[in-house]
Amino acid sequence: MQNETVEVGLRGKFYRVKTVRIGDKQIIINGKLIKIASIHDERFNELENPLEFIKELNKIRKLADVFTFRQKFPETKRNFNFYMESDDIAAVHLDSYEHWFKKQISENARRGIKKALKEGVTIKNVHFDDEFIRGMVEIFNEEPLKQNKPNWNYGKSFETVKREFSKYLNRQEHIGAYYNNELIGFIFLTYSDRYAEMTQIISKVSHQDKSPNNALIAEAVKICTKKGIPYLVYGMWTRGLLTEFRRRNGFKKLSIPRYYIPLTNKGKFIIYFHLHKGLAGLIPEKMIRILINLRTRWYTKKYKK
């Protein structure tokens, strides 16, 4: 067992955190009062044999109270007898581009793809070079709010964006949307063993009338179907307008089991009283919706100027 440090991102900021290596996996330990251990970059390092790995967890009992891991994507059936909740993921199963375009997306999304083409939006693969990064910075700095929440990348410098977004270059493709040679939107298509994930998708507010995001998703689908990748993932299934946009583009909620294993007596107490998600996990769904609406109003007022 070796102690190391890695850089992890949270709300647009990156922190160096200590990790423990067990075999070929780096284990991150989060929290102070409630210490939760998980696999670093879990979506790229899924457990091939969870039961064998769990036998090794006694090595971190003094460092963490609970260990959590997600079942291999896209398996939705519960395979293990541990305490379980679900990771709700937005995903679309792909057979061919034609099937996706004709059968899986809404008429609204089809119109958006056609409109982007008609308006002269060009979609192409791009290199992660200085010119592209400057375009990213310009898009990030257009608006301080994104989907009614603070845009965590707003105000970042060229050097910061280059450093923070070059982490997975060995497993990514970068797709840009251009209008009159101006970068107006982009997608980072990041590959895992069984799926591709759009880890970034954003476009300029000033060009949203040209539907660049619809065209970018269409290009991502073309790439995945050409490579024989069966699933395209669009982050976690969340509330709000983004969920409706996902539905229109063929994405559905896929609930993947997530397991929580107590490592200490304190860990058993934490799981029994559902404290592993902190105070946010104890708030009723109805109250969460109320708080989200209040947060949206507050952010809108704060950034109105």
* Averaged pLDDT for residues 234-258: 92
Which residues, in sequence order, are bridge partners of residue 17?
A: 6
Q: Is the peptide bond before 262 cis (omega within 30 degrees of 0)?
A: no
Residues 21-37 pLDDT 10s: 888 888 998 888 899 99
Confidence of residue 195 (pLDDT cuts 50, 70, 90): very high
pLDDT tens per residue across span 83-108: 999 999 999 999 999 999 999 999 99
pLDDT given at position 66: 94
Q: Mean of the pLDDT values across residues 229-236?
A: 96
Report the C-alpha gap between 260 and 272 in whole angstroms. Answer: 11
Report how far residue 214's alpha carbon sits from residue 265's, in angstroms, rounded to the nearest whole number. 50
Report the chain's mean pLDDT, rounded to a whole number. Answer: 88
Mean pLDDT over 259-265 rounds to: 94
Alpha helices in the chain, H assignment, sequence order: 50-54, 97-99, 107-119, 130-140, 158-164, 212-227, 241-248, 265-272, 285-302
Q: Tens digits of per-residue pLDDT, 199-219?
A: 999 999 999 999 999 999 999
Domains of the chain: 2-70+264-297 (no CATH), 91-253 (3.40.630.30)
| pTM assigned to the model | 0.88
Contact 73, 43 (CB under 8 A): yes
pLDDT for res 132? 98
Higher pLDDT, 121 or 145: 121
- Give the residue carrying structure tokens 């075999």: 23
> Omega before 74 cis (within 30°)?
yes
Find the mean pLDDT for residues 257-282: 87
pLDDT in tens, 113-131: 999 999 999 999 999 999 9
User: Alpha carbon of 234 to those of 3, 39, 162, 220: distances in Å?
Assistant: 33, 21, 23, 11
The β-bridge relationship of strands 231-236 and 172-179 is: unpaired
pLDDT at 63: 87
Q: Are 184 and 204 a contacting pair, CB within 8 Å?
A: yes
pLDDT of 112: 97
> What was the pLDDT predicted at 88?
95
Residue 13 has pLDDT above 70, yes or no: no
What pLDDT score was predicted for residue 246? 95
pLDDT at 282: 61
Is pLDDT of 10 > 80?
no
pLDDT at 160: 93
Confidence (pLDDT) at 219: 98
Answer whether residue 12 shows pLDDT above 60: no
Q: Which two tokens stand for residue 24?
A: 């070929």
- 3-class DSSP assignment, residue 274: coil
Question: Quick one: pLDDT at residue 237?
Answer: 92
Contact 191, 229 (CB under 8 A): yes
Share of the chain above pLDDT 90, in %: 63
Measure CA of the first residue to CA of the last residue in the chain; give whole Å.
52
pLDDT tens sequence across 54-71 = 888 877 888 899 999 999
Q: Quick one: pLDDT at residue 167?
A: 87
